[in-house]
């Protein structure tokens, strides 16, 4: 299934700030268009719930959340978390869950981990991205190692036929790293998200008021 309008939020790995960026996207883009957030695959659901986090941080109405998704208990790669629960995940299983979602809203879809995270023995997160037909935002940290990780992620998406809408840098500002990713990756840096402490709905609203991702 292809989603008509939207963006896929991926990252260079786990813990780089995809959920924070997703909340910022909701808070920013809803000023231009009705939006809906979707987390199709979540592992470690007993400890963390990215959907609940985005709801709280972006102050979402129920209509702005697509609740359907694969929810797995253990904080592991989706393929392993599923195997340990005796279930399987396929790209088709996941895309079927979008069928009853909104048709005209701008979708903000948050991935799990990075683009090469396995969903099963044969399919990876990148296969889901391509099947949904959405351009990707790559969330990157600003610290050491980010140039290599970011360029590898960008190259992977493009080599599979996907589109990279841009990169969002998350963390303490580092202009050299941002410039290197932009120049070598031939990609736009859509935003630089500072460290938000404390991370609250108010902080998200304030940061969103200063951003324009240029996606709609």
Catalytic residue list? 39
For the chain, the straight-line distance linking the first and the last C-alpha, in angstroms and rounded, comes to: 21
Structure tokens at 112: 């799990």
* β-pairing verdict for 6-11 and 136-141: parallel
Contact 48, 119 (CB under 8 A): no
Neighbouring residues of 181: CB distance < 8 A, sequence distance ≥ 6: 140, 146, 147, 150, 151, 154, 167, 169, 187, 189
């Amino acid at each position: 299934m292809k989603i008509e309008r939207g963006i896929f939020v991926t990252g260079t790995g786990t813990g780089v700030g995809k959920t924070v960026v997703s909340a910022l996207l909701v808070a920013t883009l809803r000023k231009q268009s009705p939006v809906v957030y979707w987390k199709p695959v979540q592992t470690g659901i007993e400890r963390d719930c990215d959907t609940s986090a985005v709801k709280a941080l972006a102050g979402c109405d129920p209509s702005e959340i697509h609740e359907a998704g694969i929810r797995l208990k253990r904080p592991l790669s989706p393929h392993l978390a599923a195997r340990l629960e005796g279930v399987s995940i396929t790209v088709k299983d996941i895309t079927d869950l979008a069928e009853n979602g909104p048709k005209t809203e701008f979708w903000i879809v948050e991935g799990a981990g990075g683009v090469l995270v396995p969903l099963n023995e044969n399919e990876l997160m990148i296969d889901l991205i391509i099947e949904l037909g959405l351009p990707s935002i790559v969330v990157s940290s600003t610290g050491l190692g980010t140039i290599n990780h970011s360029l590898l992620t960008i190259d992977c998406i493009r080599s599979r036929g996907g589109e990279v809408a841009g990169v969002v840098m998350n963390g303490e500002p580092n202009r050299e790293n941002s410039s290197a990713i932009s120049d070598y990756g031939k990609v736009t840096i859509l935003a630089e998200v500072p460290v938000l402490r404390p991370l609250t709905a108010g902080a998200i609203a304030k940061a969103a008021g200063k951003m324009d991702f240029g996606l709609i």
